[in-house]
Amino acid sequence: MALDAVLSRIDTDLSAATDRLIELLRIPSISTDPAFKDKCQDAADWLVADLRSMGIEAEKRPTPGHPMVVGHVEGDGPHILFYGHYDVQPVDPLNLWDRDPFDPALEDTAAGKVIRGRGSSDDKGQLMTFVEACRAWKAVNGSLPCRITFFFEGEEESGSPSLVPFMKENAKELKADLALICDTGLFGEETPAIITMLRGLLGEELTITGPAKDLHSGMFGGIAMNPIRVLAKIIASLHDATGRVTVPGFYDGVPELSPEILDQWKNLGFDPAQFLGPVGLSDPAGEEAYTPLEMIWSRPTCEVNGIWGGYNGDGFKTVLPSKASAKISFRLVGQQDPLKIRENFRAYVKSMLPPDCEVEFKGHGASPAGQMETGDPAFEAARRALSDEWPRPAAYVGCGGSIPIAGYFKSILGMDAMLIGFGKDDDQIHSPNEKYDLNSFHKGIRSWARVLDAITKA
């Protein structure tokens, strides 16, 4: 069977694959620092050369910033686009690294072998899991299992300024049936995950004005409306006693999870105490009626990200301030309509204003949630393929934050994305001593071979 031969090839080639990754890791492609501009070119060149060495038509494509790398392989079956990024985070503070971040090496640790170095996990190591899977497949079968477009970015760690324009300009070339993205993690140690829900985000800033100027509380205290009190009351009213958001119509378009997904999540063995403990918390503080995983993955939220008004310096000032402000954000799920929620939120706040109060709003972004079409047989095929590789079955999971690239693939190229990754929570990405487990690398490569096989047959 072709797949078994590919997996064997991956096993025997692991040492060489590791050497290749280490070569790529040696290139300090820090995208945010102009001093490393040439190194980003070098990393792109390395990838072009590596793809070409496998007979893939690849080239470096200029942008106003760092170049993209785009490669194409023709083939039968579905057209897959694979995305990863070759740029890395800065390495400060350098003195906290146990080795030169750009002199990577395989290290033995108590928890097993790791590849240590900047970018080992985020994202060069992850990117190379897919490339190595393709290399093994090609070596065994002489060709790849389907049509594949490789798309590597060099600005992911510095805000991706060129990404959207490049995707728009090259939409026809990049459009595929499905995107695969390798920039996320396992769930825990042994459970692979496919992110199929990404929460959207609506940002609102509001300023309540009461008195026309700051007043002295000796003279006006007791008779003048205090905008901090008004703001506090509004914020306190945004959730009911069970933790539900009270903005009218807020839950329109919020789906309940299917029994299958609920079951998958139940089997993940998520321990909220273990999740919250490291940040000094113990109690899941969201909607009473939902499980902790739903709170962070599939339920919408309303949070206050900032509040200010009156005097906050040393000592005391008996001021009744003229204004009080807050920044409030909503994480959105399913089919929630950000603009409708903005409208409802503003009307709701206005309805709570006492006499003599005015409110001004400022919008800060409004992006809907991403919800992948898991009904597409490719998803279920990939999930089974991952389950075959790892000790525990794979799950469709949510992501509480936004991963912009997935949204762009949907909105610009009209394709769903499958976010599969092998990073671990302790990989220390963006921090000193970044590492990638050799196990993540090895089983990651094997995972992609299985997923490609499964998707092609699905």
Strands 112-116 and 105-109: antiparallel
Stretch that binds its own copies, among 10-18, 198-206, 334-342, 414-422 (CB under 8 A): 198-206
Interface residue with its own copies, options 308, 346, 376, 393 (CB under 8 A): 308
Stretch that binds its own copies, among 51-59, 257-265, 298-306, 372-380 (CB under 8 A): 298-306
* Window 52-91: residues binding its own copies (CB under 8 A): none
Q: Which residues contact 144 (CB under 8 A, 6 or more apart)?
A: 73, 75, 134, 137, 138, 452
Q: Does 346 bind its own copies (CB under 8 A)?
A: no
Q: Which residues contact 126 (CB under 8 A, 6 or more apart)?
A: 84, 182, 183, 421, 422, 423, 436, 444
Nearer to its own copies, 110 or 316 (CB): 316
Stretch that binds its own copies, among 66-74, 152-160, 206-214, 450-458 (CB under 8 A): 206-214
Interface residue with its own copies, options 105, 276, 353, 458 (CB under 8 A): 276
Q: Does 430 bind its own copies (CB under 8 A)?
A: no
How does DSSP assign 414-443, residue by residue? ---EEEE--B-GGG-TTSTT-EEEHHHHHH
* Window 393-422: residues binding its own copies (CB under 8 A): 399-402
Q: How many CB atoms are located within 10 Å of the residue 252 CB? A: 13
Minimum CB separation from its own copies for residue 1, in Å?
Answer: 40
Minimum CB separation from its own copies for residue 202, in Å?
Answer: 10
Q: Which two structure tokens, joined as six digits, stand for 359?
A: 């409110």
Per the omega criterion (within 30 degrees of 0), is the bond before 404 cis?
no
Q: Does 350 bind its own copies (CB under 8 A)?
A: no
Three-state DSSP state, 130: helix
**Pairwise CA distance, residues 174 & 168, whole Å:** 9
Q: Does 223 bind its own copies (CB under 8 A)?
A: yes
Stretch that binds its own copies, among 33-41, 160-168, 316-324, 407-415 (CB under 8 A): 316-324
Strands 68-73 and 200-209: unpaired
Closest CA to 160 of 37, 63, 289, 78: 63
Nearer to its own copies, 52 or 317 (CB): 317
Q: Does 309 bind its own copies (CB under 8 A)?
A: yes
**Contact (Cβ atoms closer than 8 angstroms) between residue 102 and residue 415:** no
Interface residue with its own copies, options 66, 299, 342, 410 (CB under 8 A): 299
Q: Does 241 bind its own copies (CB under 8 A)?
A: no
Stretch that binds its own copies, among 60-68, 73-81, 150-158, 235-243 (CB under 8 A): 235-243
Stretch that binds its own copies, among 1-9, 96-104, 139-147, 322-330 (CB under 8 A): 322-330
Q: What is the arrangement of strands in the sheet containing 358-367, beginning at the earlier edge strand?
A: 323-332, 200-209, 358-367
* Window 361-400: residues binding its own copies (CB under 8 A): 364-365, 399-400
